[in-house]
Chains A and B, each alone.
Chain A
Amino acid sequence: MHSESAIREPLILGHKTYHDITNDIVAPIENKAPRAWYVLITISSLIALYGIGCILYLIGTGIGVWGLNKTVDWAWDITNFVWWVGIGHAGTLISAVLLLFRQKWRMAVNRSAEAMTIFAVIMAATFPVIHMGRVWMAYWVLPLPNTFGSLWVNFNSPLLWDVFAISTYFTVSLVFWYIGLIPDFATIRDKVKSPGMKKAYGILSFGWTGNAKAWTRFEEVSLVLAGIATPLVFSVHSVVSFDFATSVIPGWHTTIFPPYFVSGAVFSGFAMVQTLLLVMRKVMKLESYITIKHIEYMNIVIIVTGSIVGVAYITELFISWYSGVEYESYAFINRATGPYWWSYWAMMTCNVVSPQVFWFKKLRTNLTFTFFMSIVVNIGMWFERFVIIVTSLHRDYLPSAWNLFHPTWVDVGIFVGTLGIFFTLYLLFARFFPVLALNELKSILKLSGESYKQQAQHHHH
């Protein structure tokens, strides 16, 4: 079935054998963690604890500890929410969409990208919950049968759609991720020597035997889940964008939002994958698996989605002029020239201008530059959400209500805190979970074919 042109570079470098793969991936779990890991997890968990402290202070005291006001009722909270949801797009896109499209290169990156997705969605989901004035009533957004008579949730509200979209996305992503982990957990179970770890990974692997039937079912389930997950990749950020698109606020009320948000999400998701993988491949010595080719592919996705986002920005500007609507027109002029002009131009520079440098192959295959760019894109995408939320709200219809938003240390603390929690989770994942899909990787290792080719070349010479 599988055919490949001889000149295409292999996806796994370094003449690895199946055994090498198992060793390489399981080694960090079996061995003692490097000092760097301890340093990193100490830092990130301290930041996480600070963030949790801020969250508890927020819940204990009131939303007033944030910088919000009567005009700008959402700012960093929902900016962070949308930002994290966006980041949570890459994993499932890589594993599900690329699986359906039979893109084999995904195998080296999908596991960690999916982990990133899970953690990012957890971080994202934190914000809509803690931004509620009465967080202890948060369960009221669920359509639970209740003792309040016929009191039911409001199915017209995009926030409610969010609840469904995010929870569905999270559930499917988690199941998809976990199903993929089962054979790898079984491999670890079989390899580790400590009885405790054997027991733990035995439980995690759900008694995987590795027989043909199990593998068949594994493949079938993966494909079915990929089929389910793929529309979710598009739906979840479309639904998030409805929070804004269905409103009456100039700058929010825009039909272009669903595709624009999805491409922006993929854009930022891939940037975050780059940030994480570039570090991980170095620290965990996975250069053979996560090759320059992977990095380049992902950079190409970044150019494409970045350009889509750029077109969307320009379309917005065009429509605001073309529509002739006074408020719409002002909203966009104000974005570019009003009190928050710097955030607009930060967004434009980071998201539209900077990814275009990836047209140069030299730059898109440069690891340091890619790392730098991944950070730039993530900053840009954070500003995009800030621009949409804060600059639209701060000057909407009645000039009497126009106002500015000033963040407090709690705003900053909770955002930084979620970064801390995210990295803590990711570091734990990198330490205890197989960071690459080792069994799937084996399917793209053409050991016999590659060695045959090499032998043939040797003969030729």
Chain B
Amino acid sequence: MSSTKRYWQDLAQLDQASEAIQGRDNEFQAPLPIDEMLADKGLTGATTGRRDFLKFLGFGLGAASLAACETPVIKSIPYVNKPEEIVPGVPTWYASTYYDGQDYASILVKTREGRPIHIMGNPRHGLNRNPRLDKGTINARINSSVLSLYDGERLKGPRKNELNDSARTWEDLSWADADKAISGKLAELSAGGKRIVVLTPTVISPSAKAAIAQLRARYGAKPAAEGQPAAGGAQVDHVQVDSISYAGVTGANLKSFGLRVMPSYDLTKADVLVSVDCDFLSSWGSTTEHAWQYASRRRPEDGAMSKHWQFETRMSITGANADERLAIKPSEVAGAVIALHDAVARKAGAPTAGGGMDHPQLAAAADALWAAKGKALVLCGSNDESVQVVVNRINDLLGAYGSTIDLANHTWFFQGDDAAAAQLVKDMNAGQVGALLIAGTNPAYSLPNAAEFKAGLEKVALTVCMSTHADETASLCQWVCPDHHYLEAWDDHMPKVGRYALSQPVISPLFDTRQWQESLVRWSGGTGSYHDLIKATWQGALAARADAATAPPFATVWQTSLHNGVYEAYTNPNTAVPFAGDAAAAVAMAKKNAGAGGEWELVLYTKEGIGDGRHANNPWLQEMPDPLTKVTWDNYVLMAPSDVKRLGLQTYLGQESPASVVTVAANGVELQLPVVPAPGQKAGTIAIALGYGRGANGEKVGKAACLPNDDGTTTPVGRNAWPFVTLVNGTASMAVGNVTVTPTGTTHPIAITQTHLTHMDRHSVVKETTLATWSKHDPKGTYNHQHELAVHEDVNEDGAIDARDRLPVKEFDLWEEHAVEGVGHRWGLSIDLNTCTGCGACVTACTSENNVPVVGKDEVRRSREMHWLRIDRYFSSDMTKERAKEEGLGKIDMYLDMEVPSDNPRVVFMPMMCQHCNHAPCETVCPVAATTHSNEGLNQMAYNRCIGTRYCANNCPYKVRRFNWFNYVTDKFADVNPAWSELGRMVLNPDVVVRSRGVIEKCSLCVQRIQAGKLEAKKAGVPVADGAVETACSAACGTGAIVFGDLNDSKSRVARLHGEERAYMALEEIGVKPNVSYLAKVRNTEETAEAHHA
């Protein structure tokens, strides 16, 4: 039987009467009155004649065409000819590579309607890929770099500076004019036999090197090998200088193994890891690689957990993650390394040197290293070549080469040569440099001898700066030929032996800029683009390979590489290399270099957010709290709390408690900076972050780096500490001895996001234990104790109802269950306190994904930062409940003592976002039901419904709700909030609304991504696969600390993690039933943190 029903208009139609059929066929059933109209006599009486009609017609046509001519062409017309791969509303992802001389990562760039808006690590390819979890590790600097693309202060075209004019004026030029003038000058200098120098950070791009080679071929009278002086005539040199120097490390490897390189480290193989002043997770070496490698050995469930010792001066991210940490002075670094060397050498039967530092922690570390021989690794952050030679020797004795250290597949990073840079500055001042072409670096700011460099610039006949901004260097050069942002440029990379990667443009250049390599190609007389050069270089390299005959054709290689972002050509077997250095001489030299520290010692470091200062223009990074101090928008002097107290300086920092300012002086350099008490800092030492104080002379270095005053001048964010860096034995040293610290009596406001330092021994917030305790697998009885309530029923079935009959609090429920358990999806997160390094990449990823406003220093100072995701940092305290009980201490005193962190505290990083409670306290109190529970377990916000009573924020036990105190897209926030400017607005994620003032916002678990993922699954007709949807934070977390998924899918990773014995809900006993669970922190120590201090 047909299921199609038929309908009739009336019975006549049903009967198929002829009138009905006629009626159906005739559209106009009533006759049209055309004849009547034409017959109307009035028409003939109309005054408009035929000629007039034609005139009007002609005028009308003319007017219409004229009007059409004047209509501006609106470029935002949606794709009439739709590009094949772009669908409006659907993001397109491109694989690319981030490299800035300091950080390297394979990335995926998310573009919407042609605009890059988000960056994540490439989960399929690259050095930074965590193969175990299929996650691409990045850091906050890398995922925030998308915002720098839309910096309105980027240079918009080439210019010629009027250097004699103190008013900083310039002449805008066309590229053709600039090229003509510069090429002409280069030719003239070449003909005159002058030296031409290209100054860059480490170039790992084979094609960029080819471009430099082209320049050399064109202007060098006698082409010479790199670094070798040409025999007479003009010479084109390439000098590489890294802002953060690794010359000591690479130099030591040259001495020890004949290779001037940074080796590859494999922390996944390291059972025992000893780091001496090496912040390898955040600021030393290939951090995006180290982070995932390190974390993969930190989950006790996954087999042997590594043991990590850290000996360092300031509390670094790495030190905060260590199992054992000892604070040492910078002048003790060499001694610590020598002590380790001697202890290991003694066991190995090798000669010892003597004179090392004597400390039981060092002895214990050496014992553990030796016990884990072949699976041990020592890392050292010192840039002293001799210290690094000793470290190499230790690693050699431990059998690390061929195992945890790979020299056969070494990196090409950090090739910078401090000595060559120093020589260059000397040569410049001696008038021996004819032309200086600067790209990718800012020597006038970051060179230790920047003042001499600046003086030398004036003696160079041709100075060309290829930077993105009119920065410290560019404003002193004659010619400024602005570089692309890396998202606009083509590039290739060779991060390691046998490994290649590509960067591709994901947007047309926003301004009239040109990437510096292409400029070199032009000036060398080349006609093709840099893109052509890259292709040619690759084709050449492929053809030159020994296996060229069997290798896939170039077109395939190119396409695949472009798609994947990388090309992994080959890997050498990791074999041990014999140590050929002179350990005894190195020890002697190291001792000599260490010197006496004096009353105060200073270490310079780079922060997770700002790095070496190139990111200072990025408001996301300026507002990202420092992982340890939680300070934003400033650099400062880190000082041990005991020293702060001793000097009578401010110990508590808050909205109305500004930091005390001190004058730090060393080597003739003076700097006034606020003091931030830093638990874990070695007493008698201070630390200052580099990368601040950009644009101190009014240079246009980007908005957030330099904040405007009322009078139109600008004040740099922080102060520039680079002048403190000195060359010791030819390498830049970040440690400075004989420093004086003098309180000035003035104060400086500090914007800090966490004013309380400790967790007050609140075990339902932070749970931690030792590996030994964890190994007993009795979580409920030991570290993962659950709150219970006595009930009036025989729970334990002992026949009596008494106080021993208890049920866990989760069994009690005041409310009806939300119908989400086992029905449909229930989204949730699992956060592992063990693998969270605290780096903060999730914070900026969340900011980027969810259009979180930047509110500026003053508002952060008022504790009004808007981050949906924060990382709580807790220091341990010497005082615990157990200890107070033992000592019979009163509660008031106990709590007061608990507020004070230990001198050398243990640290817990706890990412905190909306916990998506199934019994959410915020939901019940909203008078207008603006925040409700979804049937997928999400606590959701309807911004449009919110009237802003903030009751929900008060009633949130986790304090994760954020209120829009102002309209952040107004002039008041113009200097900090990128969403204010038309250009900055391009970075906004169109899937997420920008919130108005007066409403509450908070983590949505990236509901827009969930919806998109569900839609994809629906289109494919399959259930949403585990891992198909990632929140911005979980995608950014290469260490796998944050895992997102469906809790109702019993096979999902997140459901499994919720069931692990380390799993707990924060504040479980208050019964809000979060969808976010944490995995308790396990430290590979002998004793508990509490016992350690008691």
Contacts and interface: CB of A to CB of B under 8 A. Distances in A.
Given A62-B965, A141-B928, A399 B765 contact: yes
Nearest to B1069: A325
Interface stretch (B350-358, B453-461, B860-868): B860-868
Interface string B642-657: 0000000000001110
A301 B655 CA distance: 42
A54 B998 CA distance: 17
A133 interface: yes
A133 B946 contact: yes
A133 B945 contact: no
Contacts of B754: 400-401
A118 to B, nearest CB: 24
Interface in A329-350: 329-330, 333-334, 337
Interface string B915-940: 00000010011111100000000000
A312 interface: no
B925 A247 contact: yes
Given A157-B951, A399-B765, A134 B998 contact: yes
Given A333-B891, A403-B755, A134 B946 contact: yes
Contact of A63 (B764, B874, B910, B948): B948
Interface in B747-790: 754-756, 758-760, 762, 764-765
B929 A62 contact: no
Interface stretch (A64-72, A99-107, A181-189): A64-72
24 contacts: A62-B998, A63-B950, A64-B864, A64-B965, A67-B862, A70-B953, A70-B961, A70-B962, A73-B954, A133-B963, A134-B999, A135-B998, A138-B947, A140-B928, A152-B929, A153-B928, A154-B927, A159-B926, A333-B895, A396-B957, A397-B959, A398-B957, A400-B910, A400-B912
Interface-centre pick from A69, A138, A330, A406 (highest chain B CB count, 10 A): A69
B263 to A, nearest CB: 39
Given A69-B864, A140-B945, A397-B1067, A62 B912 contact: no
Nearest to B958: A398
A152 B865 CA distance: 32
Assign chain A's interface to a size class: 35 or more
Contacts of B946: 133-134
Contact of B948 (A132, A151, A157, A337): A132
A400 B872 contact: yes
Given A69-B864, A247-B925, A333-B895, A151 B945 contact: yes
B965 A71 contact: no
Given A69-B864, A402-B755, A157 B998 contact: no
Given A133-B963, A396-B957, A157 B755 contact: no
Contacts of B996: 134
Nearest to B655: A406
A131 interface: yes
Interface in A121-169: 128, 131-135, 137-138, 140-141, 151-154, 156-160, 163
Given A134-B947, A397-B1070, 18 more contacts: A64-B859, A64-B864, A64-B965, A69-B864, A70-B864, A131-B949, A132-B949, A133-B947, A137-B947, A140-B945, A248-B921, A248-B1072, A249-B954, A326-B762, A397-B1067, A398-B872, A400-B874, A402-B755
A159 B762 CA distance: 31
A243 B929 CA distance: 16
Given A156-B924, A248-B957, A393-B954, A398 B912 contact: yes
B954 to A, nearest CB: 5
Contacts of B947: 132-135, 137-138, 140-141
A248 B949 contact: no
Contact of A397 (B755, B895, B957, B998): B957
Contact of B966 (A62, A70, A74, A158): A62
Q: Label chain B's interface by main secondary structure.
A: loop
B965 A159 contact: no
Interface string A389-432: 00001011111111110100000000000000000000000000
A404 B950 contact: no
Interface string B950-986: 1101110111011111110000000000000000000
A455 interface: no
B892 interface: yes
A399 B760 contact: yes
Contacts of B862: 64, 67, 69
Nearest to B924: A156
Contacts of A330: 760, 895
Nearest to A148: B945
B951 to A, nearest CB: 6
Given A132-B947, A134-B946, A62 B1072 contact: no
A61 interface: yes
A406 B655 CA distance: 8
A406 to B, nearest CB: 5
Interface residues of B, number: 63
Q: Label chain A's interface by main secondary structure.
A: loop
A294 to B, nearest CB: 40
B945 A70 contact: no
Nearest to B859: A64
B963 A73 contact: yes
A154 B654 contact: no
Given A159-B927, A247-B925, A62 B958 contact: no
B135 interface: no
B927 A163 contact: yes
Interface of A: 61-64, 67-71, 73-74, 128, 131-135, 137-138, 140-141, 151-154, 156-160, 163, 243, 246-249, 326, 329-330, 333-334, 337, 393, 395-404, 406
Given A70-B863, A70-B959, A153-B927, A247 B965 contact: no
Contact of B954 (A74, A132, A137, A153): A74
Contacts of B957: 248-249, 396-398
Contacts of B24: none
A71 B863 contact: yes
Nearest to B760: A399
B873 interface: yes
B804 interface: no
B885 interface: no
B353 to A, nearest CB: 46
A402 to B, nearest CB: 4
A393 to B, nearest CB: 6
A37 to B, nearest CB: 39
Given A70-B959, A159-B927, A333-B892, A133 B998 contact: yes
B168 interface: no
B997 interface: yes
A406 B656 contact: yes
A398 B765 contact: yes
Contacts of A395: 756
A396 B925 contact: no
A133 B760 contact: no
Contact of A400 (B655, B873, B925): B873
Contacts of B998: 62-63, 132-135
Given A64-B864, A70-B864, A247-B955, A160 B927 contact: yes
Nearest to A139: B947
A129 B285 CA distance: 56
A400 B864 contact: no
A62 B997 contact: yes
Nearest to B1072: A248
A137 to B, nearest CB: 5
Contacts of A131: 949-950
Given A248-B1072, A399-B756, A133 B872 contact: no
A160 B930 CA distance: 13
Contacts of A156: 924-925
A456 B213 CA distance: 130
A157 B997 contact: no
A154 B959 contact: no
A67 B656 CA distance: 11
A25 B754 CA distance: 61
A137 B945 CA distance: 9
